[in-house]
Amino acid sequence: MATVVISGNGEVGAAIASVLYRAGHRVVLQRDPEHASGCEDHARLEGVLAKRARRLDDLVRMVRCGRAIPIAAEPLERIVQALQPQLVVDARALAGEAPQRAAQAVLRRMAEQGLEPARGARPVRDAAWKPLGTGALIGYVGGLIGLGGAEFRLPALVGWFGVRLRAAIAANLLISLATVVCALAARLAQHEPGALAAFAWPAAMLAAGSIAGAYAGASIAAQVGRRALHRIVGTLLGALAVLIALHGALPSSASAPLGGVAGLAAGAAVGALIGLVSSLLGVAGGELLIPSFVLLFGAELKLAGTLSLAVSTPTILVALWRLRGSSGWIEALERRALVGWMAAGSVLGALAGSLSFGAVPSAVLSLILAAILAASAIKLYRG
């Protein structure tokens, strides 16, 4: 196996370090002292454990151990002298490229130079049970209060699995699509066709607005800077935390539903806002759609949940279509095993949670989940 030193900060360096480490190489990530001094002792770089090396002796020992990616603040010359690496990569020269594409290009270049992992070296692979179990747990607690749990998957993808925020949004949309389609198929048989048809026009207007909002939101997610995106997503998650805290107080139906042109116009306007939020967070939007159907159009709560799934499906599809080819989309596809296992867990958990609906008082569970979501929102806002 080759020893590789990656010089430079940022997402490209982290992606290269992760890909090479997973392929079985020994990797060191060198950072400038002013950046490394603020790092935590332990971190996640694209899903791989990294640990700061405080001294050069620690760095050499950690490279030999190979259990984590060392992050060193030593000058590059000293690191090269101590380790004698086979390759030094300047990640700053690749800053304009998509992180995962740059990482795969470095891996191919190493293979062409004969710098392949030694025989017996095992590539690092994600354990399937982690995303499967995480998705199932989040889907289950979401199902207990009638939500899909996507608002909790996003912080988990970023914080627990080290997925970059742009890629986490795309991955969350893919997982949300699988969860919504399965849940919709399971719930359609629970309602009379006439009950669904009675809300066809409100659903159509909410869907039209949501599609337009999703198109705009996906453009924002692909174009704004990293810090701005973190703050936007953190703010939206904080707002959702408040809504989820109030979820238990949602009435079963509205007493004075809107009708006529005013109702349809309100549905389109609210739908546009929901689609914007959905595409920026990678969520299905049920936490916003369900109250809209209940409070604006007088739908019964259970029926509102089914209608929200029907509206969410085209909204998610448009957001995914708009993100296609972006760096986040490419990285989400690179982590397809993680996405697939978490989607499977989310579907199973959501179905189990739906069957246990009401087992825990909704108001109590909503407050607990809102507190967790608020903490995640603060962390994401800070970047």
* DSSP assignment string, 336-361: HHHHHHHHHHHHHHHHHHHHTTTSS-
How far apart (Å, rounded) are the C-alpha atoms in residues 34 and 56?
Answer: 17
Sheet holding 48-53, edge to edge: 42-45, 48-53, 69-72, 26-30, 3-7, 87-90
* Secondary structure of residue 96 in the 3-state scheme: coil
Judged by average pLDDT, the poorest of 29-33, 55-59, 357-361 is 357-361
Instruction: Output the six-digit token pair for 178.
Output: 């699988």
Residue length of the chain: 383
| Angstrom distance (rounded) from CA 198 to CA 165 | 39
Judged against a pLDDT cut of 80, whether residue 265 lies above it is answered with: yes
pLDDT confidence of residue 343: 93
State residue 340's pLDDT score.
92
pLDDT in tens, 184-237: 887 777 778 787 888 888 888 888 988 888 888 877 777 777 677 778 877 877
Segment 159-169 shows an average pLDDT of 82
Tell me the pLDDT of the chain averaged across its residues.
79
- Rg from Cα positions in the chain: 23
Residue 344, pLDDT above cutoff 90: yes
In terms of pLDDT, which residue wins out, 323 or 162?
323
Is pLDDT of 132 > 90?
yes
Q: Are 45 and 16 a contacting pair, CB within 8 Å?
A: no
Query: Does residue 31 carry a pLDDT above 90?
Result: no
Q: H or E segment at 43?
A: strand 42-45
β-pair partners for 50: 43, 69
What are the residues whose beta carbons fall under 8 Å from the beta carbon of 229, sequence distance 6 or more?
Answer: 165, 166, 221
pLDDT tens-digit map of 44-87: 677 777 888 888 888 888 888 877 888 888 888 888 888 888 88
Integer Cα distance of 117 and 127 in angstroms: 21
How far are the Cα atoms of 59, 251, 359 from residue 248, in angstroms, in the given order? 52, 8, 13
pLDDT of amino acid 105: 86
pLDDT tens-digit series, residues 133-160: 999 988 887 766 666 678 788 888 887 8
> Could you tell me the pLDDT band of residue 127, with boundaries at 50, 70 and 90?
confident
Given pLDDT bands bounded at 50, 70 and 90, which one contains residue 248?
low
Task: State residue 231's pLDDT score.
Answer: 81
Specify the pLDDT at position 359. Answer: 60
pLDDT at 35 over 50: no
* Predicted structure pTM score: 0.69
